[in-house]
Structure 1
Amino acid sequence: MRLLKFLPLLFFGFLQAQEEVVQSVYFEFDKYTLDEKQAAGVIDYIRKTDSTRIESIQIFGYCDDRGKEAYNFKLSNNRANTIKEKLMENGIKNKIIVTIEGKGRILIDDDLVENLPEVRSKNRRVDVVINLKKLPEIDIPGFFTSIQKKHVVGDHIYLENLLFERGSSKLTFKAKTQLDKLAYMLQKYKALQFEIQGHVCCTPPNQREAIDRDTKKRQLSKNRAQSVYKYLTFKKIVKTRMTFKGYGNTVPLGKGSEYDRRVELVITSI
């Protein structure tokens, strides 16, 4: 009986069960040999899996429910070894193949199964189980109102009192008080590097930047960032840890114009 000539010789079945991926390779009745198409498919499957995450490979062979039990165990074991040999021929290291096992036949209830020939054909298979190492946790940048014990690149430090008067880049008393606290924390966490980002509000629609009333130049957001840079330098924060840049009106907070007259820090290295 050659039902499989009507089916694909290689069937890809992916099961995402935590960190385990399974591919099933199907065989013809009473056979344990692979043709070239099947062999290429198995190897391609392994190669497309991230090799840095492969912890181990398990290979399990199965048969349908026909035939004697001892014969089916031998056949299922031969199928499993066929896959193992093909993997090793193509550079898969033996040490990561931790299991090669024939499971024998898969029993089914003839009275309860519809399309019995198809079910049997799917039981004539080898499951290649790839056990994957867990992906490292990815830290997503966040928004904070003070320096934290642990930061990731991209974290924003928004200081609530680091606000400016309209048209001004001069630090207020409240701003300096908060920068004093910030400088203390930056001395504590000396590995942190950051960009000082200046912002403005209330500019005409066709003007990205605002005019600094003291310098009369349209670089208010940059001047605000530079004021903070200079103050932190005065508080003994090493210059090489800091850069500054003006962002004009491009990053509004949406909380009101007074909150857009601000400077915030963005972590660039930890």
Structure 2
Amino acid sequence: MKLKLLILLLISGYSFSQVKKPDSLQLFFDSAKFSITDAHKTQLQSFFKDIKLDEVLQIRIKGYTDFIGNHVYNNKLSKKRAKATYIFVTNNYQFKAIAQQGLGELDEEIAEATIEGGNSKHRKVDLILSYEKPKEVSVSLTRKQRYLLQLPKLSIGEKLRIQHTNFHISTPNITNASKEDLEGIIKILKAYPKLKVLIEGHVCCGDKEEYESKIINPDNLALSTERAKNIYNTLIKKGIKANRLSYKGYGFTRPLDFPENTIAIQRENRRIELKVLRK
């Protein structure tokens, strides 16, 4: 009898230790809204009530929008949603580390695969809690390449803009100065063999109609796709397996800033981004 009781206690203790800690929460917003409502506050208070804050190593707050409105507006709106949530959380709770990020429009292919209910479910903030330090792999990078260490730390669906990759005007050919970035990407992908990415190409200097309608100009689509494909082919030639890579061009439908009244803004919009698909 005592032996049975001991076994039951051990099983109960094991089961209790295996209870999954709360690690995520979603807050949904009305169209074009970003303020934290009373309903949001109640939801947050209920979520944090039973969490031991000192066990949480980091909390990440990520804001999103749907596809209503232009890309620049949605980027700003997603940041406002993340910031409003960040302010409420930091004013009421103390965490070891907390980060906020606005990620703009939630990509349709990911949303449709994981969320039901249409665009109303894209207008949200995700709170993600981490209880353990992620495993880090030693990668030898130059100072210019070190920002690429962010890539394996991203969640699925998040993107990293390649900072130093430039192309010759109106061509898919990268400049010599861009090759150091590509060498760094290759090192990261080889060090993290489970990492799978989508290479996204964007161009600058499009017109207002393409930007607002999100109907891609065929020439801009072709150029942005060829630039992404060029990066894709280069990575494969350097030993990265094709089944870990894909590419897509977006023309001028997703500029980071508009209107493009400075050379700096044009350079920022003319970019390559890597989106994490698997890790």
TM range (shorter): 0.3 to 0.5
Greater share of strand: 1
Give the TM-score normalised by the residue count of structure 1: 0.44
Structure in which a larger fraction of residues adopt helix: 2
